[in-house]
Structure 1
Amino acid sequence: VQRLGHSAERVARDSGIPAGFMLGQAGHETGWGQSEIKHADGSNTFNLFGLKAGQGWAGKVAEVRTTEYVDGRPRKVLAKFRAYDSYEESLRDYARLINGSPRYAKARAQTGSVVAYATELQKAGYATDPGYARKLSGAIHSALRAQRTQT
């Protein structure tokens, strides 16, 4: 939260997505910085949100083993993830995804509530983990508490 706070605040001003929501989700997705996605050579991808590199992605990628839930069961799969040159670039790409995709419209409309936002992200298929909304809500609440102690 301390390391990414200023970048998240800048992106929040531009996107309307609360900085604490982005920080909490980044914390959850990276194990609070302990499990960041790396390139094969060990260098950082700066991917804070576990965003995959789908067909429309023209940027850099990293191929990594990850856990996906298929029919409620965890499976290890090889997936391509987006790679960035900075954390702020990752935050901005996340905001573009959430704000630009009709799939996440209900989540965008719920930025006044941590639980509702996380629930709508899960319903929209942001992650395959059946417990994602509960886990994400907890992470966002942790980030918001950390933000309050810094001000």
Structure 2
Amino acid sequence: MTPKDFIAAIGPAAHASMQTTKIPASVTIAQAALESSWGARCPGFNLFGIKATPDWTGATTMQPTGEVVNGKSIKIKAKFRAYPDWLGSINDHAQFLLKNKRYLPAFTYTDDGEAFARAVAAAGYATDPDYAAKLVSIIRAHNLATFDK
């Protein structure tokens, strides 16, 4: 699937989610693109790489993943949330951001996808120290801010 095809496939759902959650669609699309390699790697339709914590009661899948620990890249196996389809993943991602207090500062930037992305990264969404820069690069390269209108 090309980036253009991927954006066309999830863009409408990301925009619809934005209408009720205020999470910029550009961020939802950029995170999904980055975390799933444009839909190529999303076992269990998990577009966002959300791990299954002990309180998760839904389906799961064990997958190898890369993490950055103490500045070093390592490979581990981890339990991830699983969904019946991409829409389920998008909806859960929104709830994940809304319910986790550490992401609350991001919601002061609902009118600025790039700032929202930086705030989510600063709150520790991923262990990659370049996560925010990568999201912003995807938003800009694919003109994803148009989905935020």
Instruction: Please state which band the TM-score falls in when normalised by the shorter chain.
Output: 0.7 to 0.9
For 2:47, the equivalent position in structure 1 comes to 48
Deviations 1:87-137, CA, capped at 9 Å, x for gaps: 111111111111121110111212233332222112211000011110111
1:17 aligns with 2:29: no
Identity %: 36
For 2:4, the equivalent position in structure 1 comes to none
| Corresponding pairs, count | 141
Displacement of 1:9: 1.8
For 2:32, the equivalent position in structure 1 comes to 26
Counterpart-to-counterpart distance in 1, 2:12 and 2:113: 20
- The alignment partner of 1:75 has SS state of strand
Counterpart-to-counterpart distance in 2, 1:146 and 1:107: 18
Counterpart-to-counterpart distance in 2, 1:9 and 1:52: 24
CA RMSD of aligned residues (A): 1.7
Displacement of 1:147: 7.2
Contact 1:98 1:108 in 2 (8 A): no
For 1:5, the equivalent position in structure 2 comes to 11
Q: Deviating runs (4+, > 4 A) in structure 1?
A: 146-149
Contact 1:37 1:64 in 2 (8 A): no
Deviations 1:42-85, CA, capped at 9 Å, x for gaps: xxx11110000011100000100100100111000000110001
For 1:68, the equivalent position in structure 2 comes to 67
Counterpart-to-counterpart distance in 1, 2:146 and 2:124: 30
Structure 1: tracts of 5 or more residues without a match: 39-44
For 1:42, the equivalent position in structure 2 comes to none
Contact 1:47 1:82 in 2 (8 A): yes
Displacement of 1:148: 4.5
For 2:116, the equivalent position in structure 1 comes to 117
- The alignment partner of 1:10 has SS state of helix
* TM-score between the two structures when normalised by the length of structure 1: 0.86
Counterpart-to-counterpart distance in 2, 1:8 and 1:116: 17
Structure 2: tracts of 5 or more residues without a match: 1-6
Counterpart-to-counterpart distance in 2, 1:117 and 1:58: 28
Counterpart of 2:74, as a letter, is R
* TM-score between the two structures when normalised by the length of structure 2: 0.87
Counterpart-to-counterpart distance in 1, 2:74 and 2:141: 28
